Chain A
């Protein structure tokens, strides 16, 4: 099963953010989407899970058209998809443990004991073991992000969407998150889409990297393809040299 985005257009007021965006994500691969801020990377992720409806185009996940299926079917599909939010989006009225348990409580047949075991395990693998009773407000930014990741992986989804999972983290935590993303793909066969600005992470965790530019995909290739590309827009972005991409036709 895969994720396929077909010719998506999305505008917010006068801003035409996505302009014919198409992308195919293969089963089991980790694909990173890079691109400048405001290019529509997060909008793309939210479109995939049906949080944003495109003006036109189609998104297919697990063989289902996300924007035409009925709401109960959409919620069923979302149980197969984990989403790591850019700013964690933890429920601040609940403890960290309750946050991680939220998705599990939607799974029929899980006992309270099973849920607590799974919560402890997920918090442990993001180095937050024992933080079940803490409130999100008591956590640092990095810890919140890891708690958000624990919540996303708790239900053992087939797909994981990461919105800037390593932005703002210290190098050690960043490495932990990167290896976790790689493990999810290699050991569990999870299909992942990572939106990131962090090229070091993107090179380390990705099977392929896609660059979003001016509302559509400018480039898709392996990390080696990205390193060796002559495309001045891609080169300018990954090397942090905007002068390379000036005066380049779209």
Chain B
């Protein structure tokens, strides 16, 4: 078989102005495939180190506090204003067409099914994902992760497993608070700014309420917790270079985490609803 003439192929691509974009797409695809492979490897190692409870166990409680408890204010802030906006927009949309109690129905359904879990996760992707990526990235570039290895600690067991477990446990907890606050904010806004009474709001809220919706929200929150902390750990451990590398890792963790949350959100809607 005759050897492939790369020079001819390249010149033909250049002729049609295709070489640079094709190469860029090729590099992007290769980088994406590479990241998926490395991510899978990290996940497999994390599962494999779950039995090293003596390493990750003592680290779990402090991380439940830093990842979970400390994140509650930002989640509540986000859902307070979301609940307010939903109530006002529902009233604006429904006035003269459907009864006012539908404000409660829309606020409740939208907060529980979609905005509560998704907006909480997106807010925490910024706070938790960035914090994990920058902390692990700094540890990587200052050789602290090498030092951990030299002291016979598996960095995946010591750094990754407790963070991911804390995220998987605390994201649903924070989401429950968010759901409550979002609905309460919508109710108070209805009382203060709209012609909707408490009985009307509650009537609407109960009309379409289904406990399965809450289960759906918690499953999503659990998976978002896994993604935000896992992606933060992945990019943190992949960091190279100095401060610039830590900055890149942090940005990538937030962007990739947010994108995966949106994809996963659509996936769960298609699978579970």
Contacts and interface: CB of A to CB of B under 8 A. Distances in A.
Contacts of A151: 147, 151
A106 B149 CA distance: 12
A87 interface: yes
B150 A51 contact: yes
Contact of B143 (A49, A50, A89): A89
Contacts of B152: 75-76, 78-79, 103, 106
Contact of A85 (B139, B146, B154): B146
A59 B16 CA distance: 51
Contacts of B144: 89-92
A46 B146 contact: yes
A71 B154 contact: yes
A163 B143 CA distance: 12
Contact of B150 (A76, A81, A91): A81
A83 interface: yes
Interface in B97-152: 139, 142-144, 146-152
A102 B153 contact: yes
B151 A85 contact: no
B147 A83 contact: yes
Interface residues of B, number: 13
Main secondary structure of the interface of A (DSSP, over half): loop
A53 B152 CA distance: 17
Contacts of A83: 146-147, 150
Interface residues of A, number: 24
A87 B143 contact: yes
Contacts of A87: 142-143
Interface in A224-249: none
A89 B154 contact: no
B146 A51 contact: yes
Contacts of B151: 78, 102-103, 106, 151, 155
A89 B149 contact: no
A140 to B, nearest CB: 17
A89 B153 contact: no
Contacts of A90: 144, 147
A106 B146 contact: no
Interface in A37-73: 46, 49-51, 71
A151 B147 CA distance: 10
A51 B149 CA distance: 8
A75 B146 contact: no
Contacts of A82: 150
Interface in B209-242: none
A78 B146 contact: no
Nearest to A91: B144
A75 B49 CA distance: 13
Contacts of B142: 87, 89, 92
A46 B149 CA distance: 11
A37 to B, nearest CB: 17
Given A87-B143, A92-B144, A49 B153 contact: no
Contact of A75 (B139, B143, B147, B154): B154
A91 B147 contact: yes
Given A85-B146, A91-B147, 17 more contacts: A49-B150, A51-B150, A75-B154, A78-B149, A78-B152, A79-B152, A83-B150, A85-B147, A87-B142, A89-B143, A89-B147, A90-B144, A90-B147, A91-B148, A92-B144, A102-B148, A151-B147
8 contacts: A50-B149, A71-B154, A75-B153, A85-B147, A89-B142, A90-B144, A92-B144, A106-B152
Interface of A: 46, 49-51, 71, 75-76, 78-79, 81-83, 85-87, 89-92, 102-103, 106, 151, 155
